[in-house]
Homo-oligomer: A and B are copies of this chain.
């Protein structure tokens, strides 16, 4: 672990603009940008760090909490505060997007469209760059789908893993993160409707088309196959959530994702 006992923490100038906690956030951010704080590093105890920065503990905690809210830091009671480790695909928190969907009244159509755009992009890139192992994993997941045609929940597991593998094969972690961010929100509703899913066989078939296009290193075919798959999935979803008869109107739409169909 990086040695944090050195004097890389500097006192905060009381004569500045903005609030003190904002300055704390800036300090911590700069330390991350400079590389003083690396993924997995543990921050000094709050009491010590507060003294180093020359602020009170509540103010320091406010800064830490802000960075924790965006997924950069993680506090564990009794253990300490850590810089989030960078193993595996980095993930952006989807709750901001979910809340913004509620605030702005995003429609599920917009959400599907955004997902489709992102998935098409990663599918095209995956067709150019997928390694043998990644393609093998995709094939396994497709096989898993065909083997789970009578188990919708298990089918969904393979479905999600397939898409994540494609995203990873794109080699672009930013697009992967954004895609996961959008897909996570839609996933919550899929898991509720998947039990009544009817055409799993067709879905598996379309996933296979995507896989074959990627295997053949044909970006355009991969994009189109993915696009067709998601368009089909969207239509299926829309037919699933057809307004039930006589549902009394209330503030809650019941699907819990803040999306209007």
Q: List the interface of chain A (C-beta within 8 A of B).
A: 19, 21, 29, 32-36, 38-39, 58, 61-62, 65-72, 77, 83-84, 86, 90, 92-93, 95-97, 99-104, 106, 110-111, 113-114, 117-118, 120-122, 125, 171-175, 177-178, 182, 251-252, 256, 258
Contacts and interface: CB of A to CB of B under 8 A. Distances in A.
Contacts of A121: 117-118, 120-121
Given A66-B65, A251-B35, A84 B111 contact: no
Report copies per complex: 2
Given A32-B99, A32-B103, 15 more contacts: A34-B251, A38-B103, A58-B58, A62-B62, A65-B66, A65-B69, A70-B93, A70-B95, A83-B103, A92-B96, A93-B96, A110-B172, A110-B174, A113-B174, A117-B118
Contacts of A39: 103-104
Nearest to A36: B251
B110 A173 contact: yes
A244 B86 CA distance: 30
Contact of A29 (B35, B72, B95): B95
- Most chain B CB atoms below 10 A, which of A33, A67, A71: A33
A256 B21 CA distance: 21
Contact of A92 (B21, B100, B173): B100
Contacts of A96: 70-72, 92-93
9 contacts: A35-B102, A38-B103, A61-B62, A62-B65, A92-B100, A100-B177, A117-B118, A117-B122, A174-B182
Which are the 7 A-B pairs with shortest beta-carbon distances? A117-B121, A69-B69, A70-B96, A66-B69, A114-B174, A35-B251, A72-B99
Contacts of A125: 113, 117
Contacts of A77: 19
Given A72-B100, A103-B83, A104-B86, A175 B32 contact: no
Contacts of A100: 71-72, 90, 92, 177
